[in-house]
Amino acid sequence: MKTKEQLGGIYSASITAYDATGAIDAAALQAVMKRNLAEGAAGFFVGGSSGECFLLTEAERIQVFEAAAALRGQANLIAHVGAIGTDEAVRYAKAAMALGFDFCAATAPFYYGFSPKEICDYYYAIAEASGAPVLIYNFPGNTHKEFDVANPDYIQLFRSGAILGVKQTNYNLFQMERILNLNPDLIAFDGYDETMVAGQALGCIGSIGSTFNMMLPHYKKIFTLFDQGHRAEALALQHKANNCMEAMCRVGLIPAIKYELARQGYPVGNARAPFRPLTDEQKAYIDGVLDRDLVTE
């Protein structure tokens, strides 16, 4: 198991690349990953929301793991294996770990009103299948599942050894701090690009972001400046990053990331339906904001 120091840093929440027919394009995904690695990425969060995971078939999700596994040994690799069903998540976990991923992450099972005990059983099963503790992908805005840190089942889960920590894709950073307070061995990654400095201030060892695919040097500067104590400079760059994030969210975050990657010379296909391609007006709008505020080196 890698140390906290080895796991810390900036991680791209990798996109999924498609070719002209809509099939998985391993080479295009690897090109973006290699670029991010050269820019200073510590690792990759593969097959998550930015990777359109729930728009992929089971076979495609494993294809994405296979493509990303080409970077094993060069970067830390986290496989997102979340699913509604435990058996499906377990299959992804076994496949990813067999490919050489460092560990797995998973959203809470959603749609049905699963109880805390059922959600905990899901994480225990993934940990057993992967042979390593699991990073909880805490994204209640999408899963509509909150981790109540006063619930005895969740307290037991966080103290069990089955959990590595949390990817806090939640504006409630107090909740993240309370989760870390339950077990000093847990780690946390900030999961919202726009709250990076706040996450660092409350104990995150790193940050996992969707826009890092196409603006990693900007966030690397924020992370490094804050870590070195240059907080005013870090916050100024965070404001600029948030201008970019706000613009992309207004037009559709995943389609915007893919459009900007293509504009930077890394064509990765369009986001899958029901996502819609950007209009010319939307493209011009985000181009203007990014050309003004994005730091590229």
Helix (H, G, I), strand (E, B) or coil at 57: coil
pLDDT of residue 106: 98
Residue 158 to residue 155: CA distance in whole angstroms: 5
Per the residue annotation, which of 167, 220, 240, 258 is the catalytic one?
A: 167
pLDDT of residue 3: 87
pLDDT of residue 2: 86
129 to 86, 90, 124, 126, 271: CA distances (angstroms): 11, 6, 9, 5, 31
Helices (H), the chain: 4-7, 26-38, 58-68, 86-98, 116-130, 140-143, 152-158, 173-182, 196-201, 212-227, 231-251, 253-263, 280-293
The pLDDT averaged over each successive group of 10 residues in the chain (297 residues) is: 90 98 98 98 98 98 98 97 98 98 97 97 98 97 94 98 97 96 96 96 97 98 96 97 98 98 98 97 98 92
* pTM, 2 dp: 0.97
- The bridge status of strand 206-209 relative to strand 9-13 is parallel
pLDDT of residue 1: 76
Would you call 167 a catalytic residue per the annotation? yes
Per the residue annotation, which of 137, 192, 259, 266 is the catalytic one?
A: 137
CA angle 111, 112, 113 (to 5 degrees): 120
pLDDT of residue 4: 87
Would you call 283 a catalytic residue per the annotation? no
